[in-house]
Structure 1
Amino acid sequence: MKKFSVVIAGGGSTFTPGIIMMLLANYDRFPIRKLKLYDNDQERQEIIAKASEILIKENKGEIQFSYTTDPEEAFTDVDFVMAHIRVGKYAMRELDEKIPLKYGVVGQETCGPGGIAYGMRSIGPVIELIDYMEKYSPNAWLLNYSNPAAIVAEATRRLRPNSKVLNICDMPIGIETRMAKILGLKSRKELDIMYYGLNHFGWWTEVKDKEGNDLMPRLKEHVEKYGYVVEGGDSQHIDTSWNDTFLKARDVYKTDPDTLPNTYLKYYLFPDYVVEHSNKEYTRANEVMDGREKYVFDTCRKVIEQGSTEGIHVEIDEHASYIVDLATAIAYNTKEKMLLIVPNNGAIINFDPTAMVEIPCIVEKSGPRPLVIGEIPRFQKGLMEQQVAVEKLVVDAWIEKSYHKLWQAITLSKTVPSATVAKQILDELLEANRGFWPELK
Structure 2
Amino acid sequence: MRNGIKVVTIGGGSSYTPELVEGFIKRYDEFPVTELWLVDIEAGKEKLHIVGELAKRMVEKAGVPMDIHLTLNRREALKNADFVTTQMRIGQIDARILDEKIPLKYDVIGQETNGPGGLFKALRTIPVVLDIVKDMEELCPKAWLINFANPAGMVTEAVLRYSNFRRVVGLCNVPIHIRMNIAEWLGVESDRVHVDFAGLNHMVFGLHVYLDGKEVTKEVIEKLTAKDQDMTMQNIASLDWEPEFIKALQAIPCPYHRYYYKTREMLEEEKKEAAENGCRGEVVKKLEAELFDLYKDPELDIKPPQLEKRGGAYYSDAACSLMASIYNNKGDIQPVNTRNNGAIASIPDDSAVEVNCVITKDGPKPMAVGDLPVPVRGLVQQIKSFERTACEAAVTGDYSTALLAMAINPLVPSDVVAKQILDEMLEAHKEYLPQFARKLETVE
TM-score for both structures, normalised by structure 1: 0.91
Contact 1:102 1:280 in 2 (8 A): no
1:176 to 151, 176, 179: 179
| Structure 1 residue 50: Cα displacement | 1.7
Give the match's secondary structure for 2:8. strand
Q: How does 1:5-404 map to 2 (within 5 A)?
A: 5-40=6-41, 41-187=44-190, 189-210=191-212, 212-226=213-227, 229=230, 237=233, 239=234, 242=236, 244-245=237-238, 247-249=239-241, 254=246, 256-278=248-270, 279-281=273-275, 282-291=278-287, 293-303=288-298, 306=299, 309=301, 318-404=314-400
Q: 1:352 to 1:163 in 2, by over 3 A?
A: closer
Q: 1:332 to 1:286 in 2, by over 3 A?
A: same
State how many pairs are aligned.
Answer: 426
Q: Name the CA distance, whole Å, in 1 between partners of 2:80 and 2:392.
A: 34
**Which 10-residue stretch deviates more, 420-429 or 374-383?**
374-383
1:423 to 419, 426, 430: 419
| Structure 1 residue 286: Cα displacement | 1.2
Contact 2:179 2:195 in 1 (8 A): no
- What is the letter of the counterpart of residue 366 of structure 1? D
Q: Percent identity?
A: 30
| Structure 1 residue 267: Cα displacement | 0.9
Find out whether 1:435 has 2:436 as its counterpart: no
Q: Name the CA distance, whole Å, in 1 between partners of 2:57 and 2:216.
A: 44
| Structure 1 residue 374: Cα displacement | 0.8
- What is the letter of the counterpart of residue 294 of structure 2? T
**Which 10-residue stretch deviates more, 279-288 or 96-105?**
279-288
TM-score for both structures, normalised by structure 2: 0.90
Contact 1:223 1:253 in 2 (8 A): no
Give the match's secondary structure for 1:337. strand
Q: Name the CA distance, whole Å, in 2 between partners of 1:267 and 1:319.
A: 22
**Which 10-residue stretch deviates more, 267-276 or 341-350?**
341-350
**Which 10-residue stretch deviates more, 39-48 or 105-114?**
39-48
| Structure 1 residue 344: Cα displacement | 2.1
**Which 10-residue stretch deviates more, 409-418 or 376-385?**
376-385
Q: Name the CA distance, whole Å, in 2 between partners of 1:365 and 1:18.
A: 24
| Structure 1 residue 327: Cα displacement | 0.7
| Structure 1 residue 313: Cα displacement | 6.2
Aligned-residue Cα RMSD (Å) equals 2.3
| Structure 1 residue 163: Cα displacement | 3.0
Q: Which runs of 5+ in 1 are unaligned?
A: none
| Structure 1 residue 312: Cα displacement | 7.1
| Structure 1 residue 296: Cα displacement | 1.7
Q: Name the CA distance, whole Å, in 2 between partners of 1:349 and 1:89.
A: 37
| Structure 1 residue 295: Cα displacement | 2.5
